[in-house]
Amino acid sequence: MRLLKYFIISFLIQGVVVAQDNISQRLYETYSNYKISEIENKRFSHSELMSVLEKFQNSDLIEITNAGYSLEGREIKLIKIGNGKTNVMAWSQMHGDESTATMALLDFLKFMDAKDEFDNFKNDLFNKITLYIIPMLNPDGTEKFRRRNELDIDINRDALRLQFPESKILKKIQEETNPKFSFNLHDQSTRYTVGNSYKVATISFLAPAYNYEKDINEVRENAMKLISQLTNNLNEYIPGHIAKYSDDFEPRAFGDNFVKWGSSLILLESGGWKNNYEKSFLRKLNYVALISGFESIANESYKDEAIDTYQSIPENQKRLFDLLLRNVTIEKNNQNYIVDIGINQNETSTSDKRNYYFRGKIEEIGDLSTYFGFDEIDCLGMIIDTAQIFPETFKLSSNLDETNITKILKEGFSFVQVDSIEHSEKFVKYPINVVMSGAKLNNKIGLGKAANFVLKKDGNVKLVCVNGFLFDIRSGKNYIQNGLIYR
Ligand SMILES: [Zn+2]
């Protein structure tokens, strides 16, 4: 019904302009044509970004210039698209390890550069708005794949002092363009839920407050209206997976200050999606949200939205573990206790920062009935026991392979011992932990400890936990991503 109403209103008011819902759907369906295939790894470097931008240097619609340099001298680019009277700003990766939106913005450039069925749509849009994009505002942080800049400063707390080159660039472009709308693009924890629900917060929005009272003026209200519209659009693809970031006023943050400076700012946080380690699905959602957001600003369709939708979006809550084992039995002094165990599989950077491995950690033990897991297993009747080392010693390079590892896991061991290990190595690609022969192993089960243990029923091993991932002896299924090296 809503869709029908949109069509009628659009035709009446705007003639041939395509309705919002329809454009989101078309963007979603045709996305793969525009995905930049050179960037698949979310830990892409500043120089990889530069070489993708290079491809658009001669584009008719896209103007790429130098916006300045980071603290360590890396170039920060400014991309200008369109010649409309309404200015819009968007920036990404002010936190170096939050790259999802940067990837989506690059896909958007490919969309703009293409000559195809969307040409009329694009012409119409960019006669009405002019877009200023800064992709990767913090290239020094990106180089180390971390949040902060080279001097350990969170750029998003430098909006008052404006000391650092990255902050100065952002403020300068804001002053020069005075954007009516702006998009502040981030990644948040992959383990937030939508309120108290079990659903992961895949996208979280915020129309930031501009004072401690959290007043709503017209500038903030317009951001709320646009978010309402984007939420309705995205709900088609991720129903119930949209949350709201806390709107506590942060006087030092850029988002809050942009609102103060008169720009309707939309904070968009990319969150979690099961097994979407490289964030490709979130990248697609960003792409759809951004372009449909630009369309709404150009045609002012956000004005028809009520802010109720925005206000009823549940807030982020931290209620998810990567793996939640329910009803595990712990034995102590001949007494049985039933507990739940929450385990997180934390991404850890390799030394070159361009890749990662996992470190599984016991994050919480006890009554976790108000929590959820991306994966949940009911372990009723299973007793937890410490992980053991397989007695035979292997040569890591030659006689340890997937076949004998599966046999060892099936016997209930979480570790194998080897005669030598390359000094710098911290993990193995094998689905088992590796320990130096003769090394003393701490395999204690407890809060904050490495997640290595076995679960037994009637004395028989049913599940083996290796580095926070399970091998299920009952089904033979192996979910283990990598083992760690213990010396
Ligand atoms: Zn961030």
Q: Distance (Å, rounded) from C-alpha 347 to C-alpha 349?
A: 7
Q: Which residues of 282-318 are buried (b: 16+ CB within 10 A; e: fewer)?
A: bbbbbbbbbbbbbbbbbbebbeebebebbeebbbbbe
By the 8 A CB rule, do 145 and 153 touch? no
Cα 185 to ligand 1 centroid, rounded to whole Å: 7
| Three-state secondary-structure class, residue 402 | helix
Q: What pLDDT score does 244 carry?
A: 98
| Three-state secondary-structure class, residue 436 | strand
What pLDDT, in 10s, does the model give residues 91-104?
999 999 999 999 99
Cα 196 to ligand 1 centroid, rounded to whole Å: 23
- Mean pLDDT on 299-327: 97
**pLDDT band at residue 15 using 50, 70 and 90 as cut-offs:** very low
Q: Is the pLDDT of residue 19 over 80?
A: no
| Three-state secondary-structure class, residue 472 | strand
Q: Which residue has the higher pLDDT, 196 or 11?
A: 196
Cα 326 to ligand 1 centroid, rounded to whole Å: 32
Q: Distance (Å, rounded) from C-alpha 475 to C-alpha 472?
A: 6
Cα 187 to ligand 1 centroid, rounded to whole Å: 6
Cα 154 to ligand 1 centroid, rounded to whole Å: 9
Q: Distance between alpha carbon 233 and the CA centroid of its chain, in Å?
A: 19
Q: What pLDDT score does 397 carry?
A: 66
Q: What pLDDT score does 10 carry?
A: 45
Cα 59 to ligand 1 centroid, rounded to whole Å: 30
**pLDDT band at residue 421 using 50, 70 and 90 as cut-offs:** confident
Cα 195 to ligand 1 centroid, rounded to whole Å: 20
Provide φ and ψ at 279, rounded to 5°.
65, 25
Q: Distance (Å, rounded) from C-alpha 316 to C-alpha 453?
A: 32
By the 8 A CB rule, do 192 and 272 touch? yes
Q: Which residues of 186-222 are buried (b: 16+ CB within 10 A; e: fewer)?
A: bbbebbbbbbeeebbbbbbbbbbbbeeeeeeeebbeb
**pLDDT band at residue 402 using 50, 70 and 90 as cut-offs:** confident
- Mean pLDDT on 308-323: 97
What pLDDT, in 10s, does the model give residues 437-458?
888 888 899 999 999 999 999 9
- Cα–Cα distances (Å) from 186 to 5, 78, 270, 415, in that order, read 33, 18, 6, 38
Question: pTM of whole model > 0.85?
Answer: yes
Domains, the chain, ranges and CATH?
Answer: 2-318 (3.40.630.10), 320-486 (2.30.40.10)
Cα 365 to ligand 1 centroid, rounded to whole Å: 29
- Cα–Cα distances (Å) from 450 to 71, 196, 346, 386, 423, in that order, read 37, 28, 11, 11, 21
Return residues with CB closer than 5 A to ligand 1 (ion).
Answer: 95, 98, 186
In angstroms and rounded to an integer, the radius of gyration of the C-alpha atoms of the chain is: 25
Cα 188 to ligand 1 centroid, rounded to whole Å: 6
Task: Give me the chain's average pLDDT, please.
Answer: 94
Cα 186 to ligand 1 centroid, rounded to whole Å: 4
Q: Which residues of 144-173 are buried (b: 16+ CB within 10 A; e: fewer)?
A: ebbbbbbeebebbebbeeeebbbbebbbeb
Cα 370 to ligand 1 centroid, rounded to whole Å: 27
By the 8 A CB rule, do 329 and 381 touch? yes
Cα 316 to ligand 1 centroid, rounded to whole Å: 15
By the 8 A CB rule, do 357 and 277 touch? no
| Three-state secondary-structure class, residue 405 | helix
What pLDDT, in 10s, does the model give residues 333-370?
999 999 999 999 999 999 999 999 999 999 999 999 99
- Mean pLDDT on 169-176: 98
